[in-house]
Amino acid sequence: MSTSKGITLDGKVVVQVGGTGLLGRELVVALGQAGATVIVGTRNPDNFGADRDYARAAGVEVQVDKLIVSDEASVAAFRDSVLAAHGRVDGLVYNTVSRPMKGQKPHAEEWRDSMETNATGCYLTLNAFADTMSQQANGGSIVSISSMMGMVGPNPHNYTGTAMSAMPDYFFHKAGMINMSRFYASYFGLKKVRCNTVSPGGIFNPQTPQADAFLERYGKMTMLGRMANPDEINGAVVFLLSDASTYITGVNIPVDGGYTAK
């Protein structure tokens, strides 16, 4: 006779790579409120003050440590620091992103800079933590934050008449993140390591006014008629980290208001 497994992270040690920005700070709060001990890896810990205050205002204490995801030694040192302090790591959220490209035409240096964080960094981090989790009796769960833009091509109509545009590197690395998660799900599955991806749709930022034309066109592309609020990604991530999803691995969950299903 089976028992129901609730959606909780009580007692879990969860690492989040990239805890700042519109989405990152909401994820940190969600993990903490779900019961996890949260350790954030970030390039500039001294700049995390406002995000720490945001978490504390929501009743969440966050541990912060330096991490440069494109530096293999830094990734290893960060992982070892987490293990030294907590003895294990139950979950990883890879949320960091770099957006150096400013146009659609080829810019080799911007492209290489983007790949350091968004491709190499993702690889180094997932590889390090998946390997560590595979040596733990209870394994672990990895959730990478991709984008629905890793599933579909850009719709130029959304941007017509605005100064906004899509960048090629973003589509490249977000699609790659989805398949990289499938690779690690397969490679480490027998060691009880689950690896999944959450692909948000467009997230509305009230502090960055967007063209009315874009908002109207984008809304019509979704089934819910609007962009996402920053905290509407949290549920899928917490679920995939929790014991309520122990038979789910290798999947990509679009949280896009029905954009990719329409």
Residue 221 has a pLDDT of 94
Average pLDDT over residues 214-221: 91
Return the higher-pLDDT residue of 105 and 56.
Answer: 56
Greater pLDDT, 109 or 64: 64
Find the mean pLDDT for residues 78-97: 96
Q: What is the DSSP string of 161-196?
A: TSS----HHHHHHHHHHHHHHHHHHHHHGGGTEEEE
Provide the 8-state DSSP code for 137. Answer: T
Question: What integer best gives the mean pLDDT of the chain?
Answer: 92
pTM above 0.85, yes or no: yes
Helix (H) or strand (E) holding 27: helix 21-33
In the predicted structure, residue 1 carries a pLDDT above the cut 60: no
Query: Which pLDDT belongs to residue 38?
Result: 98
Specify the pLDDT at position 247: 97
CA distances from 111 to 71, 105, 123, 162, 236 (A): 17, 10, 17, 24, 30
Quick one: pLDDT at residue 166? 80
Per residue in 119-157, pLDDT tens? Answer: 999 999 999 999 999 999 999 999 999 999 999 998 888
Q: 38: part of which helix (H) or strand (E)?
A: strand 37-42
d(CA 237, CA 194): 13
254 against 163, higher pLDDT = 254
Assess contact for 162 and 214: CB atoms under 8 A.
yes
pLDDT at 2 over 50: no
Cα–Cα nearest to 89, from 43, 117, 48, 126: 126
pLDDT score of 99: 73
Contacts of 126 (CB under 8 A, 6+ apart): 92, 94, 142, 144, 180, 181, 184, 195
Residue 118 main-chain phi, psi, to 5 deg: -85, -20
Structure tokens that stand for 215 in this block: 């908002």
3-state secondary structure of 65: strand
What pLDDT, in 10s, does the model give residues 18-66?
988 889 999 999 999 999 999 999 999 999 999 999 999 999 999 999 9
Q: What is the pLDDT of residues 154-195, one digit of tens each?
A: 888 888 877 777 888 888 999 999 999 999 999 999 999 999
**For residues 90 and 154, what is the distance between their CA atoms, to the nearest angstrom?**
35
Domains present along the chain, CATH in parentheses? 13-261 (3.40.50.720)
DSSP state of 228: B
User: What number is the average pLDDT over the span 221-249?
Assistant: 97
Quick check: 70 pLDDT over 70? yes
pLDDT exceeds 80 at position 106: no
Query: Residue 12 has what DSSP assignment?
Result: -
Which of 116, 126, 156, 143 has the alpha carbon at shortest distance from 239? 143
Q: In what order do the strands lie in the sheet with 140-145?
A: 62-66, 37-42, 13-17, 91-94, 140-145, 193-200, 252-255
Work out the pLDDT band at 249, boundaries 50, 70, 90. very high
